[in-house]
Structure formats: C-alpha cells, structure tokens
C-alpha cells in the first residue's frame, strides 16, 4: 500500500481510544506517529466521542503516557454539543446526565443548569447513572425538553472492559418518552465540520484516522475525507467486511504512517 498520498496531507483528525491508547496503556507506534506530526509541522486534532473529560484532562492523560501536545489539539463531543446548543439557543438551560467534561463545556457556553423546566435534557457517558436521574429525565422530556446525546456509541472500550456508552444509556429515555435523541458526535458531519474549522484545512487536505467503522470511517466518508482504519481498536478485518463501505487505508496502527 502506497502511503505517500496520506503522508502528504496537511491535516489529521485522529480518534483516541483504540487509536492512541487502550485505557491507560499507550498503543505501539503512537509516540513515533506524534513525533512525526510535530516534526513535519502537520495540523492535527485528537477527536473523541467521549464527553467525560475536558481537553485539559485529556492532555494530562497523554502527558502521563509520555505524549506531550498542547491542550488546543483536543476536541470532544462535549465541546461539539455545547457549540451546537449555543448556536440553537444562546443562554438556554439544560438538565445534564454526564461527567465534568460535559458539565463544564455547557457551563462555559453560557448554559445554566436546570432540573425543573430546562430547554434540553443532555446525556453523555457517566458512571453516576441512576433510576432517579432516568426518571427525572423522562418526565422533563415528556414536559417538552429536547433530548440531546453527545454521541450515539452503544459501547465504550475501557481498556479490556466494555462499558455501556451514551447510545445505550439514552435508549430508556427514548423508549419511555417516544422521543428520538439528536446526537451531535460522530458520525454526525456537524462535529467533523467543527474539527476541520479548528484545523483550518480543506477536505482535500485532511484525513481522519479511527478504529470504528460505524463512527470514525463513516463520518469521514460523509465529510468526503480520506479515511484510515487502524486495526488496533474495535474493528478488525472480519468485522470490517460486514459494512457496505470501506476505508481508503487499512493499517495495523498509526505507527505505520511515518516514514520508517
């Protein structure tokens, strides 16, 4: 496989879990890949559908793993959700089921927290999911609040463990209310456009690297980007052939991209 065209790209949008790390373990080849991005002065953005952590927390995690990049290189579904809701309803209010990354993003976008009559019920990955919160969310949506999910992922890889993600956590609310959630994260092209705007790159100049066919690769196809599937995460070659679309490049991991 000739990778010269991929290496000539100006901008790289790169998923994190399954591409950069598994849980708290760095994937082989990542350091060489990031060193190459910096040496070649590429524009790059680590894009994650997870809404739990802020860019600062993600930077600190990579620091602990020996990868040092500026906080500006991170973009999350929490930030994309906050930007979308701000564009729809500036100074709106929300009932949030999620972690600090999501709460902070919405607060910094001018949203107030509201458990009585919010404009939106917003849900992201969380370890504090409870029947009480589920019940409140159901009744708020039934009373007119719009239902928003940070991403449609059903599962999240937590190292070797699999945890239910936003798509699974929001499903009971959809079933109990008859409302369909609007998901902002990948594969929604909205998040990809936000990412490219931050990079300052055209479609032709940009490639997306991910480990999931159903979010990363289809998001890149929707946005007409070159797509790179790495086999270091969720999707393997047997799983890949089940889909009606294909990535442009298939690589063992991101360490295959730099010139050796």
pLDDT tens for 114-138 read: 999 999 999 999 999 999 999 999 9
Structure tokens at 57: 């927390």
Q: Can you tell me the distance from the alpha carbon of 243 to that of 53, in angstroms, rounded to the nearest whole number?
A: 30
Catalytic residues, by residue number, are: 15, 17
pTM for this predicted structure: 0.91
| Identical fold, 4-49+186-256 and 78-183 | yes
Domain 78-183 carries which CATH code? Answer: 3.40.50.1000
SS3 content of the chain, % helix, strand, coil (to 5): 40, 20, 40
Domain 4-49+186-256 carries which CATH code? Answer: 3.40.50.1000
**Structure letter (DSSP) for residue 9:** -
Block means of pLDDT (10 residues each) for the chain, 260 residues, are 90 95 92 96 95 95 96 96 96 96 96 97 95 98 98 75 90 98 94 92 96 93 95 89 95 89
Q: Where are the domains of the chain?
A: 4-49+186-256, 78-183
Question: Distance from CA of residue 66 to its chain's centroid?
Answer: 22
The sign of the dihedral angle between the CA atoms of 98, 101, 107, 110 is negative
Closest to 120 (Cα-Cα) out of 84, 88, 90, 147: 147
- H or E element, residue 93: strand 93-97
């Amino acid at each position: 496989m000739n990778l010269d065209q991929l290496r000539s790209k100006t901008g790289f949008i790169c998923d994190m879990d399954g591409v950069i790390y598994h849980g708290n373990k760095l994937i082989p080849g990542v350091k060489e890949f990031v060193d190459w991005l910096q040496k070649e002065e590429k524009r790059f953005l680590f894009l994650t559908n997870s809404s739990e952590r802020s860019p600062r927390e993600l930077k600190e995690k990579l620091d602990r793993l020996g990868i040092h990049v500026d906080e500006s290189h991170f973009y999350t579904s929490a930030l994309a959700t906050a930007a979308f809701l701000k564009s729809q309803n500036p100074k709106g209010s929300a009932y949030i089921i999620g972690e600090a990354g999501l709460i902070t993003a919405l607060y910094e976008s001018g949203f107030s927290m509201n458990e009585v009559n919010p404009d939106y019920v917003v849900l992201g990955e969380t370890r504090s999911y409870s029947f009480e919160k589920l019940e409140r969310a159901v009744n708020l949506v039934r009373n007119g609040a719009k239902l928003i999910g940070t991403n449609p992922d059903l599962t999240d890889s937590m190292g070797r463990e699999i945890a239910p993600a936003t798509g699974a956590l929001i499903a009971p609310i959809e079933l109990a209310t008859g409302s369909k959630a609007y998901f902002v994260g990948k594969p929604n092209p909205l998040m990809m456009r936000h990412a490219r705007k931050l990079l300052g790159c055209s479609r032709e100049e940009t490639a997306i690297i991910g480990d999931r066919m159903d979010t990363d690769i289809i998001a890149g196809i929707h946005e007409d980007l070159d797509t790179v599937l790495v086999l270091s995460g969720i999707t393997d070659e047997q799983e890949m052939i089940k889909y009606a679309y294909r990535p442009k490049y298939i690589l063992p991991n991101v360490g295959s991209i730099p010139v050796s």
